[in-house]
Amino acid sequence: FWLKCLARIVTAISPPVLSAHPSELHSDQVPSSHRRFSQRPAPLLVIMAPEKRVDPEDGQAYTYDELAAYYKGKYKKKAIEAYWETCTATKKSKKGKKAEPEPKAKGKAKSKAKAKAKAEPKAKAKAKAKAKKEPKPAGNFKVCVCGGAGGIGQPLSLLMSMDPNVKELCIFDLNVAMVPPAGVAADLSHLERKASVTGYVMEVGKKPIDFLEECLTGCDLVLVPAGMPRKPGMTRDDLFKTNADIAKGIVEACAKFCPKAVLGMIVNPVNSVVPAMAELYKKKGLDPMKIVGITTLDVVRANKFVGGITGKNPNYISVPVIGGHAGTTIMPVFSQDKVAATIDAEKIPDLDKRVQDAGTEVVNAKDGKGSATLSMAYAGARLGKAVLAGLAGKRRVECAYCKSDVTDLPYFAQKVAFGEGGITKVFPLGDLNEYEKKRLEEAKTQLKTEIETGLKYAESNELAA
* Residues belonging to the active site: 325
- Which long-range contacts link 430-434 to residues 24+ away (Cβ below 8 Å)? 430/59, 430/320, 430/333, 430/336, 431/335, 431/336, 432/333, 432/335, 433/335
Strand ranges (E), 93-184: 141-146, 166-174
The vertex-190 CA angle with 185 and 194, nearest 5°, equals: 90
Give start and end residues of each alpha helix (H) in 206-357.
213-216, 236-257, 270-283, 296-310, 348-356
Whole-angstrom Cα distance, residue 152 to residue 326?
A: 18
User: Residue 338: which of 374, 312, 365, 299 has the closest Cα?
Assistant: 312
User: Residue 201: which of 186, 212, 209, 188 has the closest Cα?
Assistant: 212
Q: Give phi and psi for 198, each to the nearest 5.
A: -130, 140
User: Residue 262: which of 101, 114, 414, 142 has the closest Cα?
Assistant: 142
Bond preceding residue 269 cis, omega within 30 of 0: yes
> Are 221 and 423 within 8 A, CB to CB?
no
Distances (CA, A) of 18 to 24, 27, 28, 29, 45: 11, 14, 14, 11, 19
- Which long-range contacts link 402-410 to residues 24+ away (Cβ below 8 Å)? 402/274, 402/278, 402/289, 402/291, 402/292, 402/293, 402/426, 403/275, 403/278, 403/288, 403/289, 403/291, 407/444, 408/444, 409/444, 409/447, 409/448, 409/451, 410/275, 410/451, 410/455
What letter represents residue 461's amino acid? Answer: N
Write the CB contacts of 152 (distance below 8 Å, at least 6 apart in sequence). 225, 266, 373, 376, 377, 380
